Structure 1
Amino acid sequence: MNAVAVVGLDCVFPAAHGIEAYWELLMRGGDAIGPLPAGRGGEGFDDTVRGGFVADADVFDNDFFTIAPREAAAMDPQQRLLLQCAWRALEDSGRSPRALAGSDTGVFVGVMGSEWAQLHMGDLARITPQLGAGSSTGMTANRISYHLDLKGPSLAVDTACSSSLVAVHLAVNALLSGECSTALAAGVNLVLTPALGMVYQQMGLKAPDGRCKPFSADADGIGRSDGAGVVVLRRLQDALADGQRVYAVIRGTAVNQDGRSNGVTAPSRWSQQAVVAAAHRRAGVGADQVRFLEAHGTGTALGDIIECAALGEVYAGPRDTPCALGSVKGNIGHTEGAAGIAGLIKTALALHHRIVPASPFAARENPRLRLAERGLALLKAPLRLPPGEVLAGVSSFGMGGTNAHAVLASAPRPPHAATRAAHAAGVFTLSADTPEALRRNLAAQAEALARRPRGDAAPVCWTSNQTKTGLPYRAAFTARDTAQLADALRTAADDEQTRARVSDRALRPAAVAFLYPGQGCQQPGMTAALYRESAAYRRHLDDADDALRPHTGASVRDLILTEDPAVNRARWATPALFAVAHALTQTLADLGVVPDAVLGHGTGEYAAAVAAGVLSLPDAARLTAAHAAAAEQLPGGALLAVRGGEEEIADVLAAHPGLLLAAVDGPHDTVVSGTADVLEHAAKQLAARGLHTRRLPGPHPCPAPAAPAAAAGPVTAGPARIAWASARLGRMLGEEIVDAAYWAQPAKAPVRFADALSALVAETAPTCLVELGPTGHLLRLAQRAGLPAGIRLLHPAPGPAATATDLAEAVAGLYLSGVEPRWEALYEPAHRRTERLAPYVFSRARRFPQTAPAHTPAHTPAHTPAQASGQIPAQAPGPAAGPAVPDAAGPSDAPAARPHPSHGPGETAAGRHDAALCAVIDAVVEVGAYPREQVDAAARIYEDLGFDSVMIMQLKDRIEQRLPQAAGITMQQLLPALRSVGTLAVLVRELTGTGVTV
């Protein structure tokens, strides 16, 4: 299959920020031409300048990409614009950008020079390393590859106005040759100087009103405009195999050159005709099959005539209907290096929506173009496309003679979906780089979902799991329909506790402990609803039932599903709990959730042993059934839970010889066993002293049995593969072999759950405790045991009515605690389809105007008001001087400051002043131009502040300027200390002898 799928889109064009806004502009025939935005003007611009301009092109979320303010200020705004577009386009493709880190993804960017470099690189006194990299045309692609950690081809292409369609051509070929498996093809253009407009004017190509009028009798030249667009491309078979949404299919592309024609800047009809024909040969389709063309269409008199003549030679054959002709330049102007991508995105959207927008200026068609006799027609109204495959073409021609054409087709129709059952539960995930960003994106997703027709939330949730993960602050919501989900997101956006769930600074690696309850926690019908809804749980409960049935003589599964009260009998209680616990364990394993530690209470140890790898399922099934059979033969008894400690009930135990201590579950939680009469008398005594008691359901043997070794058969012994806390022994089991003797000995001593839980928490420091049973009894005990703060308690199957929603809630809780679930196991195949979600909303707090960056001196005094505000004034240049951050937003929209101590920079507790820390912070602030409140001892040099090798050298210089005694520090000494500002300050303090003063 020699075809490439367009699977993701994003763009910023005049009056159209984003794909939805772009399509809306095209469909209403919008005109995006207007005056120069405020702050854009510079030398040579005046109030009469008109064109297609992107508002707020100076806004950039540098913190999101971990780019220091000084570096961001030195970057060509084209690089900044593309970084954000690339992120959103990858999300739109149904994949998290973070998930592509380290992959062979390629980046191909069409860019027509750098007006930023023209503005700034000519002043040799202002040159800095940051400005050098920031002005490089090649860095438009390399920035994307670097910041997203993409390892495939990365290159910028400049073929003038055909640059971005040539970039698409190169990306398609790289995919088809196997050079990369995903490719980003892009184009960008920002009008920062009047220079090229002056060239157009001198060549007689500039439209007086700044507006392109393609194919119109009024066409009088080019109007310049801004724009950026990114498409994500994959081989069609790969996209279909991964279930990605396909906007359109690129069937073939071609690139050629005019060669020696009528001037290096003049177009060639014959070369244009040849490139279109070549693209059709590669696509394997005839020109008569093409339904519409997105032409280059600049609106110059000569250019339109030559292009239509070339197209007429290819498309003038026998046709039932003329080929529709249009050019997006009539809406947004000529985006130059981004013109090809603007046309490609328009065409892909038209094929996706199966409607072609009307051609601007079609009302006054230029009769000299002879469109009708050439099989072409301008659209005076939108054209609805017929069913089946539809073909389209896109042309882009460069001023120097490099021509490109692409043949696109509508996406193949997905297989007919089977009738869907009731809405399934899903987990909607969202992540962001700060709590404020999380709030902003929660609100955006809520608004977007509220505009959709109410429907099944599962595909939306599935898409979010694939695209909206990987950033440090997380949120997760369980829902079955989109209206319910929109309400949850809207509420969370206004609720700080719901919003800021997890941070990469606070989150330690996830450690999950499974708790397995024993007899007394069973319930008739437990998990029956989950069995009906979850195919995975059905499969695993059936497996457990198959393992038990040869030893129990009947089906435990059927007993559970029919809500038979016989489940409370000693014969059935333990096997039923074992089957449920094992099925839940395996269901979570399918979801990628494997415990780091296990703890079983009483008979719950059988299921815990299987999870720990101590017992096989067949061995555990035999032991469980043997235990239950032995229990059935013993005299009946009962259990009484007491809200009191072991010491508090000691005298009652002594006073009743038939009363036994069955379990010590916590400092104030014990269980006693005995006959019904003994328990009733003991309960009255305990109640009289104010201790609450509760009878546990079902009969219980007195004393508690062990599984006779002979009845159970041989047991394969082995050490635990993960941490295992033994409630029987009240401690962690190390390398001990848990053999048949462990299970066969009578359980005379009480269950020491409290001691075992304490040992488990101390040794494994779990972030989550998950109970795999119906009642949540062990979680309540854990809550009363005084757990360390931050441990999340989860219950995937609470009670007989537990459904797939409860399981999804547990998975959501695990995700919030740092677990990365295997999301596909949560959804049926029909729900694993990509839906369009609102793109990531970046911060608009910082602006980096398109003006010459200022300098800082070689040494700046500490704590200046200008630095504190994040605005550093222009001063005489010093060594390694760099551009300053020109503008920052007000407090209401400022990025959230990172957590930092209440005392000021360089100060420690008790009012002490740390000169080394102060010097390091001052140097970091100067080199990166960070707001002072954003830099503290905890700030990480690379991860939080975005320092690179050049900035490290500048940082060393600044520290030496502030502390002359630091001049002997070598890079070998410095590099290991660059974990954080604080660790660097420790090194400086040690090597310079700089102390802490009061």
Structure 2
Amino acid sequence: MSYGDDARERVSQLSPKRLALLALELQDRLNTIELAAHEPIAIVGMACRLPGGLDRPEAFWRLLRDGGDAITEVPKERWDVDAYYDPDLTSPLTMNTRWGSFIHGVDGFDPEFFGISYREACAMDPQQRLLLEVSWEALERAGMSTAQIAGTDAGVFIGCASVDYYSLMRNPPTRGGSGVAMSIMANRLSYFFDLRGPSMTIDTACSSSLVAANLACQALRNGTIRMALVGGVNLILSPVTTISASQAGMMAPDGRCKTFDERANGYVRSEGCGVVVLKRLSDAVADRDHILAVIRGLAVNQDGRTGVITAPNGLAQQAVVRKALKDAGLDPAALTYIEAHGTGTALGDSIEVEALGKVFAARPGGPACALGSVKTNLGHTEAAAGVTGLIKLVLALQHREIPPVVHLQKQNPHIRLDDTPFYIPTSVSPWPSGAVPRAAGLSSFGVGGTNAHVIIEEAPPQPDVPREDRDGKRECLLPLSATNESSLRALARSYADHLVERPETSIADLCQVAGGGRAHFQHRLVLPVATVDDAIVPLCQFSEGGEAQGIKRGTVSAGRRPKMAFLFTGQGSQYAGMGRAFYEQQPVFREAIERCAEALRPHLPVPLSSIMFPAPGESPPIDETACTQPALFALGYALAELWKSWGVVPDVVMGHSVGEYTAACVAGVFSLEEGLSLIATRGRLMQELTRPGAMALVAADVERVERAIGDRKERVGIAAINGPNSVVVSGLPDDVGLVLRDLEDDYVFTTPLKVSQAFHSPLMSPVLEPFRQAAMRVQFEAPRIPMLSNLSGQAFGPGVIPDAAYWVEHIRAPVRFSEQVNTLASQGCDVFVELGPHDTLVKMARRCLSEAAGRGILPLTSLAPDGDVDRRFLEAIGELYVRGAQIDWRGMDPEQRCRRIPLPTYPFSRRRCWLEDHEMRPFPREELET
């Protein structure tokens, strides 16, 4: 029996009810597949480099809105136009135009930024270099750092059709050729950004970048990738193509694309580079991306066999537009603007408008539809034409305005707009009224017959948190970084200028994007800011080389980051209300405390919140040992979770007495629930002790204190060694008093401590056995993070487990804090972070070290009884950042209230990277003739 027969046999045995359910399930799956196949694609970032100094979309929009153009004579650095120009086309091997649209400074590049040697950069096609820069800017404008996308399945789809730089080489590479190979245009981006999805360069001539967008959207819709970089690039470095096009009668002698005009007589060549960042709309919404516009539908087709391979085919153009509309699920009446291919040839323009008229004729009484072409502003950017038009459409939708068609004096008589919804705008105008959301079409036709059309729609309404809810009255931390000092100053200046231009900017949005949406380099600064004015003056001062109030700076060695130790404070540091501000403002901290409270519910006489955060007028039992120890554990654990949510992860952990329990939990020695149960049992047993105890701090070395204790070792012990001359004694009150009297007689400074029990002393003996029984029920593990022992002052060895016996001995033995600190220093720890109510441990730690060693330590605290906790944490994060720590800035916005707003992009430090004269192939006429 065949597989098919077997399947039919099994289906025939199903009940009618089961068959009906199966049919519904299959239909649901088919519907899901169909929806995914047509899911809208969100444009979440875009950047461009266009002629006329248009190095960002905002500048491009100003040119479009003002009806300007960027056409100039061919620059001397491209070629000597006089050597090739001849208005008489009967003259062979000449061009009939002196004009073009050129990007200034394409020889400049920042090779060090991209990890490329100067020699390799000179051998690279500058189109690759341009794509690297513009892609970086597109990702920054999307609020995505390279760390977020590295190693992902993101795809790269690039349109490119020219290899002029290769043709300039006197000695082209005979092996490899990664600097000039067409395929490397896309691969270079995947390599640099470490992207693992499909990576391809597409050459369909003028439609290349729009075909690239089509392929990217297909990959997104079928789930192959989750994000895509799509773009196109075109540089005109050699006169050869212009000569060829001139000889074919394709170039406009006056260097203007006169689209739709009766004077249309050819196009003008233009340079350009544009890149957009794409995601599925559902993913973009889930990721809270700033959605610029939406691609609703796409289509690509081919002319097939026409009279001449380069001749346009009106029927194919109609078909591709209809197919794109069908993919979008839209009627022609939904579109109120068409960005035409519109090269400015009399025949091509009329064929295109006629084809559009056939598609849009079936909307009688519908809204008007504008026709435009960006080629009237820039000329024809060839392989980058599609993405250039796409960026123009996104900008027009965002501003809800239609920019004018330039150089239109009298309409081409072969273009008939009667009985069509079309009109040609000659001045800037509001977007035509009609269907909402606003939608537009974009055409791009390749000279070989590959046609593409895309339907673009304005971004859907996006939920927004009111600015006052995002900013509140809290300060935020603005981090900036660059690969060198001059770029950092330039970046500071661009941020200051940006804020001057946009004083309405939300500080929370600003700091969140600058931190979480940017890569971070060796030269760094941070600035606490609460208002826009707080940022402008210091940034300006810094950019000009002066002293800047509030700015903290640092330079990090490559690959270097601080080695951090978490120090958990012990008993005696507690106070009512400790951590209240974090509990009210930080969800991560609050969730950790609530988890601890739930685990402690069976072990405490009152809820944990009543102990830690009493209401006004209440007298909480915070100083009762049975409550103190669990409360300190919970506080330390919640602070650790908060620090970790910001990317501050310990390399080593240690604690002082009770604090070692929290350190052990963070290191993975036991679970949170088991640790809380153990510490609650410990605190309860100690509080139940009936013998009173006393403790005191002694400013003497261990040997001197031991001599003073003498034969009282059964009643007095050393509880802690906190420094070379800082020892804590603990025991019966009368005996402790006698020890202190002996020491004071020798002029030793002593200070009694306010305690109810004699911790870490012989008086703890009655609790050891019941505590042992409780500890035996806990599952202990070896620390997963290096952990220092109170008992030895050293780290636990590999595989060594602090078991029940260890924690029993821990109750009675002294805390060797001084030795722990010296161990940290010997291991290269240069940041000590105290996780507790005070700055007790970091102060003691500095005193344990030599003056030289102490100067190299950065002490950071989490809380203080009367301190500004927000400012304290900002200062700590800032200190860590400028020392090279990898901060998770997204953790600063745990409730995702901030928006991904566009901010200034990185100021590359460009220098000339170009072939030397002796490496370049000359183009005299006699060589062209051969």
- Would you call these one fold, judging by a TM-score over 0.5? yes
Alignment match of 1:452 (pick from 502, 516, 519): 502
Match of 2:519 among 469, 482, 494: 469
Query: Which is further off, 308-317 or 651-660?
Result: 651-660
Who is 1:551 aligned against? 603
- 1:100-133 CA distances to partner (integer Å, 9 max, x unpaired)? 333332222222222222322xx4xx23358943
Out of 521-530 and 542-551, give the one that drifted further: 542-551
Partner of 1:754: 818
Aligned residue number for residue 144 of structure 2: 95
**Do 2:695 and 2:758's aligned partners in 1 also have CA atoms closer than 8 Å?**
no
- Quickly say closer, same or farther: Cα 1:621–1:169, change in 2 above 3 A: closer
2:341 is the counterpart of 1:303: no
Cα offset, 1:606, TM superposition: 2.4
Aligned to 1:381: 428
Cα gap change, 1:778 to 1:391, in 2 (>3 Å): same
Q: CA deviation at 1:473?
A: 5.0
Does residue 728 (structure 1) correspond to residue 791 (structure 2)? The answer is yes
**Residues 769-802 of structure 1 deviation map (CA, whole Å, 9 limit, x = unaligned):** 2211021111122223334775543323343545
The DSSP-based 3-state class of the residue aligned with 1:17 is: coil
2:558 maps to 504
Matched, 1:410 2:458: yes
**Which aligned pairs between 1:588-607 and structure 2 lie closer than 5 A?**
588-591=643-646, 593-607=648-662
Q: 1:685 to 1:21 in 2, by over 3 A?
A: farther
1:540 pairs with one of 569, 579, 592:
592
CA contact (8 A) 1:521 1:775 kept: yes
Deviation at 1:835, TM superposition (A): 2.0
Matched, 1:331 2:377: yes
Q: Cα–Cα, structure 1 residues 397 and 691, in superposed 2: closer, same or farther, change >3 Å?
A: farther
Structure 1 residues 850 and 210: alpha-carbon distance in aligned structure 2, compared to 1, 3 A threshold: farther
CA 1:560–1:450 in structure 2 vs 1: closer, same or farther (change >3 Å)?
farther
Retained in 2: the 8 A contact 1:456–1:480? no
Question: For 1:839-988, what aligned pairs fall within 5 Å after superposition?
Answer: 839-844=905-910, 846-849=911-914, 852=917, 854=919
Is the deviation greater in 28-37 or in 820-829? 820-829
The reply on whether 1:30 has 2:39 as its aligned counterpart is no
Q: How does 1:88-487 map to 2 (within 5 A)?
A: 88-120=137-169, 123=170, 126-129=171-174, 132-316=177-361, 317-361=363-407, 364-366=410-412, 368-379=414-425, 380-384=427-431, 388-415=436-463, 417=465, 420=469, 422=472, 428-469=478-519, 471=521, 483-484=533-534
Deviations 1:711-751 (Å, cap 9, x if unpaired)? Answer: 68521252432322222343333355434444445855542
Q: How far, CA to CA, are the matches of 2:317 and 2:718 in structure 1?
A: 92
SS in 2 for 1:392: strand
Aligned to 2:106: 57
The answer (yes or no) to whether the contact 2:465–2:897 under 8 Å persists in 1 is no
Q: Which amino acid aligns with 1:540?
A: A
- Number of the residue aligned with 1:17: 55
- 1-structure distance, mates of 2:162, 2:405: 30
Aligned to 1:969: none
Displacement after TM superposition at 1:9 (Å): 0.7
CA-to-partner distance for each residue in 1:161-217, whole Å, 9 max, x for gaps? 222222222222232333433222211111222333333433333233322232234
1:867 matched residue in structure 2: none
Which residue identity does 2:632 align to in structure 1? Answer: L
Structure-2 change in CA distance of 1:68 and 1:612 (3 Å): closer
Amino acid at match of 1:467: G
Q: What amino acid sits opposite 1:374 in the alignment?
A: T
- The offset of 1:464, in angstroms, is 3.6
Aligned counterparts of 1:322 and 1:203: Cα–Cα separation in 2: 37
Shift of the alpha carbon at 1:767?
A: 4.8
Q: 1:628 to 1:217 in 2, by over 3 A?
A: same
* TM-score (norm. length: structure 2): 0.82
Q: Aligned letter for 1:34? A: T
User: Does the Cα contact within 8 Å between 1:244 and 1:834 map onto a contact in 2?
Assistant: yes
Contact 2:298–2:328 (8 Å) recurs in 1: yes
**Compared CA separation, residues 139 and 615, structure 1 to 2 (3 A):** closer
Structure 2 alignment gaps of length 5 or more: 1-35, 86-96, 923-930
CA shift for structure 1 position 73: 1.2
Q: Once the 2 structures are TM-superposed, how far is the Cα of residue 227 of structure 1 from its aligned partner? A: 0.7
* CA distance in structure 1 between the aligned counterparts of 2:330 and 2:897, rounded to whole angstroms: 35
Distance in 2 between residues matched to 1:187 and 1:35, nearest whole Å: 23
Superposed displacement of residue 230, structure 1: 0.9
Match of 1:774 among 825, 837, 843: 837
Which string of whole-angstrom CA distances, capped at 9 and with x for unpartnered residues, describes residues 72-118 of structure 1? 11222112111111122122233223433333322222222222223
**Alignment of 1:664 onto 2:721:** yes
Instruction: Compute the displacement of 1:219 (Å).
Output: 3.7
Shift, 1:346, TM fit = 0.7
CA displacement at 1:645 relative to structure 2: 4.4
Q: Cα deviation per residue 1:424-447 (whole Å; 9 max; x = unaligned)?
A: 665555444445444443443343
**CA shift at 1:484, angstroms?**
4.2
CA distance in 2, matches of 1:513, 1:46: 70
**8 Å contact 1:623–1:712 — kept in the other structure?**
no
Aligned amino acid, residue 280 of structure 2: R
SS, match of residue 733 in structure 1: coil
With normalisation by structure 1, the TM-score equals: 0.77
- Matching residue's letter, 1:178: G
Asked whether the equivalents of residues 161 and 336 of structure 1 are also in contact (C-alpha less than 8 Å), the reply is: yes
Which segment drifts farther, 764-773 or 558-567? 558-567
Q: Aligned partners of 1:239, 1:177: CA distance in 2, in Å?
A: 16
* Structure 1 position 347, deviation (Å): 0.7
Counterpart CA distance in 1 for 2:745 and 2:317 is 99
In the alignment, which of 627, 630, 633 is matched to residue 578 of structure 1?
A: 633
The separation in 1 between residues aligned to 2:796 and 2:129, in whole angstroms, is: 55
8 A contact 1:430–1:469 mirrored in 2 = no
CA distance in 2: counterparts of 1:691 and 1:455, whole angstroms = 60
Match status 1:73 vs 2:122: yes
Paired residue secondary structure (2:322)? helix
Q: Which moved more, 1:364-373 or 1:416-425?
A: 416-425
- Report how far residue 531 of structure 1 moved: 0.8
Superposed CA RMSD in Å reads 3.8
Go from structure 1 to structure 2 and tell me whether the alpha carbon gap of 1:285 and 1:452 turns closer, same or farther (over 3 Å shift): same
Q: Does 1:39 align with 2:77?
A: yes
Identity in percent: 38
Residue identity opposite 1:848 in structure 2: C
Q: Would the aligned equivalents of 2:516 and 2:888 in 1 still touch at CA under 8 Å?
A: no
Tell me, yes or no, if the aligned pair for 1:569 and 1:698 is still in contact at 8 Å.
Answer: no
Measure the CA separation in 1 of the matches of 2:82 and 2:226: 45
Could you tell me whether the CA contact under 8 Å between 1:454 and 1:483 is conserved in 2? no
Distance 1:154 1:776, change over 3 A: same
Q: 1:606 to 1:648 in 2, by over 3 A?
A: same
Q: Distance in 2 between matches of 1:555 and 1:142?
A: 59
**Conserved 8 A contact 2:211-2:452:** yes
